[in-house]
Amino acid sequence: MGERFVLIAEDDQQAIESWERDIREFNRAGGEVSFTAEYARNCRDALRALERVRVDCAVVDLRMPVDAGSQGRNNDPVGNEVLERVLLDVGIPAVVYSGYPQEVSARVRASRILVVPKKGDGGAEVLAWLAQHESLMSAMDVTRARIQRESARLFSNSIWPRWEDKWQRMADRDQLAEVITRQIVSHVAEQLTLSPNDSHPEEFYIVPPLDVDRLGTGDLVKIDEKVYVVVSPRCNMARDSYPAHLILAPCKPMDEEWSSMRERFAGSAKEQKSAADQLRRFATQDFSLSSHFLPPCDAAGPWLVQFKDVLTVESRTAVPDLLRTRFASIASQFVPNLVQRYPAYLGRFGQPDLDTDELRARVCK
């Protein structure tokens, strides 16, 4: 049985007693998940608990006192502050459990946080929903632990020895924090990122893209219902303002090739070998330099990127529309393969086409 720690932000004593009963009954049922609760009776205590206590999930009432010194019940939905901290700083499954569900903030409502109106059997419903997310909680728990261990190793072996004296001489502490943050992030990514051969297909894309306000190299967008990938250099895309023009490469659907290959995997041994060879060709980019294979992204794709048919658009006018149609980003470890093949196509030197009949006539003359 997996034990999960749930933060319950609730100030009403009867509601807390009801939660205690619901959790006892849920745990007594002997499912694969059990819950241990940490209670916070006001907004400030809930925020502190998120900082100091390991919690796997949270249940938050909207109306509660701001802090322990507040008199009576606060009529403002300060629970939204706790929920937004869960979204922005913590990253755990959470539930709004309130008699005033209409007071949920726009940011919370737009997220995956579940909203449940307070009712007689609401506690059991909330616990059942949280239990359905136990595998995700477990995965995130392991993920955080691995990142923390790697960050601690980097701090002990590199950051502390190298920066102990430097930080005392740097007047701008925010700048120092940014420098060290970039070092830790890049190091942890280098250590923990799987090689492409070991990657899960879901790792090829980030859906939806993390950067909501900007386009990036490797973003997939739609123009007139056709898919394009951004191949403008990342250094240009990272500047404060976009380059004057963006370079987009069209992505040709491979529906027929993909369907045929899937059918052959269910056929004879010879057909299965043929399908496996074709799939290997896709995965290893065994195409001409003018093409680049992109695997399926959810229900869309796969595609062949066509470097010979690139399109340029003016950033100032095109970016707002492209952001609205963007549906995925190629993950960072796969972007280099895309952008390295594009200049290789541009820089190729080959024999120009010759008329073979004319050449034969000259040779045999």
> Could you give all domains of the chain from N- to C-terminal order, each with its CATH number?
2-132 (3.40.50.2300), 139-192 (no CATH), 210-346 (2.30.30.110)
Q: What is the pLDDT of residue 94?
A: 95
- Reduced to 3 states (helix: H, G, I; strand: E, B; else coil), residue 329 is strand
Q: What is the pLDDT of residue 252?
A: 96
21-25, 149-153, 281-285: which is most confident: 21-25
Alpha-carbon gap, residue 27 to 108, rounded angstroms: 29
Q: What is the pLDDT of residue 69?
A: 74
Confidence of residue 247 (pLDDT cuts 50, 70, 90): very high
Lowest mean pLDDT among 131-140, 193-202, 294-303, 340-349: 193-202
Confidence of residue 112 (pLDDT cuts 50, 70, 90): very high
Higher pLDDT pick, 210 / 63: 63
Confidence of residue 198 (pLDDT cuts 50, 70, 90): low
Q: What is the mean pLDDT of residues 262-289?
A: 90
Q: What is the mean pLDDT of residues 253-279?
A: 92
- Asked whether the predicted pLDDT for residue 200 surpasses 70, the reply is no
Q: What is the mean pLDDT of residues 319-326?
A: 92
Higher pLDDT pick, 201 / 258: 258
Q: What is the pLDDT of residue 350?
A: 63
Q: What is the pLDDT of residue 201?
A: 63
Higher pLDDT pick, 99 / 199: 99
Q: Return the percentage of the chain with pLDDT > 70, whole number.
A: 92
What are the φ/ψ torsions at residue 288 (nearest 5 degrees)?
-65, 160
Q: What is the pLDDT of residue 344?
A: 84
Q: What is the mean pLDDT of residues 208-229?
A: 90
- Asked whether the predicted pLDDT for residue 197 surpasses 60, the reply is no
What are the φ/ψ torsions at residue 350 (nearest 5 degrees)?
-140, 170
| pLDDT 10s digits, 332-357 | 888 888 988 888 888 876 666 667 77
pTM of the predicted structure, to 2 decimals: 0.67
Q: What is the pLDDT of residue 8?
A: 96
The mean pLDDT value of the chain amounts to: 87
Cα 289 to Cα 65, 301, 338, distances in angstroms: 63, 20, 11
Higher pLDDT pick, 170 / 58: 58
- Reduced to 3 states (helix: H, G, I; strand: E, B; else coil), residue 64 is coil
